[in-house]
Amino acid sequence: MDPVLIIPLLVIAVALIIVLRTVRIVPQQTAQIIERLGSYNRTLTAGIHFLIPFVDKVRANIDLREQVVTFPPQPVITSDNLVVNIDTVIYYSVNDAKAAVYEIANFIQGIEQLTVTTLRNVIGSLDLEQTLTSRDQINGQLRGVLDEATGKWGIRVNRVELKAIDPPASVQDSMEKQMRAERDRRAAILTAEGFKQSAILTAEGEKQSQILRAEGSAQARILEAQGQARAIQQVFSAIHRGKPTQKLLAYQYLQVLPQIASGDSNKMWIIPSELTDALRGIGGALGGTDSKAALAEEEEWVEPGDLGTDAFAETVLEDPAKALAEARGQAAQASAESTEHAAPIPREQPPIRRAPGRAPSTRKAADPPAADSSIPDPEPPTAG
């Protein structure tokens, strides 16, 4: 090769190297630490920068974006002396590139070791059940301790997550049995609650049904009683509008009286006062002419007033048989007395044979005694 050409080529190569070491382009979300003659000079951010060749040197290239680091599972002992393996995930970002380079040699390793020690301190104060159920509390404590410790390194811990908590196999078996028993217990409780609610609803339905049935029966009885009361009132009004005589009422009552007395459960009879008046009238009718004239006269009719309880005045007898016997006896006595005092029926007398030559007797038969009108009327029966 010609020596004349070698020199220009060397000059071009040196110039190219100088240009490359002078111009520095920094990408976005990246920071570069520049040292001049071995000491910190400045921090380059995104953009184009010019350096002094062979004097300025790039010490470190730092990524300012949020980083995710996963550590291998760490064995940690709980307060109840159980060893659990905890897998953690940490989200961090670099806020100060200079501090991250000059304050610690390897901030990733520092974060890992700090996470392990902090995790052991936090989990050591909790038992297994609290460890399994208090993940948010553990995450908050870890984040607070790590953020405070890494702040001087220019690192900001944004979030700490417990990815997995694995207890020993024996504990897992016991936990599965416990969880199975708990599920069975909850299922039994829910089943019992369902039966309870069903029984309560059924009882409430039966209660409402019985209440409605009782109300319907009560309304039916009330309406039936009102109908019977109206029927009795109409019959009573019709009887009084028909103006029945005392004799007719007594006769009707005597026809119904044997039916009343035929029942075994009847302990008392009801004999109205009209019966005694009718019996007195019958006795007077079978007696003298004065009584017949008195019965011939029509009694003055009085329109019935308010059909209340006074319209059905009754005489209650404790011994119905005795009262009936007395009534029949009085009627028979009145009939006998009227027959005794009544005029005898004339009979045909056989012809009297007279002795020859004897004159017929002119003696007349004595007149029959007149009916005694002073015979007292039969007294009405009184309540026994």
CA-angle at 59, arms to 57 and 65, nearest 5°: 130
Assigned token pair, 351: 């012809």
Structural domain includes residue 250 = yes
Is residue 55 located within the same domain as residue 78?
no
Assigned token pair, 7: 């020199």
Structural domain includes residue 96 = yes
Reference 134, options 187, 173, 184, 79; nearest CA is 79
Structural domain includes residue 366 = no
Is residue 269 located within the same domain as residue 231?
no
Last residue of a domain, one of 224, 243, 262: 243
Q: For the chain, what is the mean pLDDT? A: 75
Q: Is 36 a residue whose pLDDT tops 60?
A: yes
Structural domain includes residue 348 = no
Is residue 235 located within the same domain as residue 263?
no
Question: 2 vs 5, 6, 11, 12, 269, CA distance in Å?
Answer: 6, 7, 15, 16, 166
DSSP code of residue 219: H
Residue 384 CB: number of other CB atoms within 10 A?
Answer: 14
Is residue 226 located within the same domain as residue 252?
no
**Contacts of residue 142, Cβ cutoff 8 Å, sequence gap at least 6:** 88, 115, 118, 119, 122, 160
Query: Please, which pLDDT band fits residue 243 given cuts at 50, 70 and 90?
Result: confident
pLDDT at 2: 66
Q: What is the pLDDT of residues 303-354, one digit of tens each?
A: 444 444 444 444 444 454 565 566 666 666 766 665 555 444 455 544 555 5
Tally the domains of the chain: 4
DSSP code of residue 154: T
**Range with lowest mean pLDDT among 67-71, 138-142, 268-272:** 268-272
Q: How far apart are CA 329 and CA 276, in angstroms?
A: 12
Is residue 78 located within the same domain as residue 128?
yes
Structural domain includes residue 378 = no
pLDDT at 304: 47
Is residue 236 located within the same domain as residue 288?
no
DSSP code of residue 357: T
pLDDT at 291: 45
Q: Is 163 a residue whose pLDDT tops 80?
A: yes
Is residue 33 located within the same domain as residue 75?
no
Residue bearing the bigger pLDDT, 61 or 340: 61
Last residue of a domain, one of 42, 63, 84: 63
Whether the CA torsion 136, 140, 146, 147 is positive or negative: it is: positive
Whether the CA torsion 91, 97, 101, 102 is positive or negative: it is: negative
**Range with lowest mean pLDDT among 9-18, 207-216, 335-344, 352-361:** 352-361
Q: Is 370 a residue whose pLDDT tops 60?
A: no
CA-angle at 107, arms to 106 and 110, nearest 5°: 95
Is residue 79 located within the same domain as residue 23?
no
**Contacts of residue 127, Cβ cutoff 8 Å, sequence gap at least 6:** 78, 79, 80
Structural domain includes residue 235 = yes
H or E segment and range at residue 149: helix 135-150
Query: Do the Cβ atoms of 86 and 165 come closer than 8 Å?
Result: yes
Structural domain includes residue 19 = yes
Reference 124, options 61, 154, 162, 79; nearest CA is 79
CATH of the domain at 129: 3.30.479.30
Identify the top-confidence range among 5-9, 202-206, 331-335, 380-384: 202-206
**Range with lowest mean pLDDT among 5-14, 35-44, 74-83, 291-300:** 291-300
**Domain coverage including residue 72:** 67-167
Is residue 162 located within the same domain as residue 234?
no
Residue bearing the bigger pLDDT, 372 or 279: 279
Q: Is 295 a residue whose pLDDT tops 80?
A: no
pLDDT at 151: 87
Structural domain includes residue 97 = yes
Is residue 222 located within the same domain as residue 289?
no
Query: Do the Cβ atoms of 167 and 128 come closer than 8 Å?
Result: yes
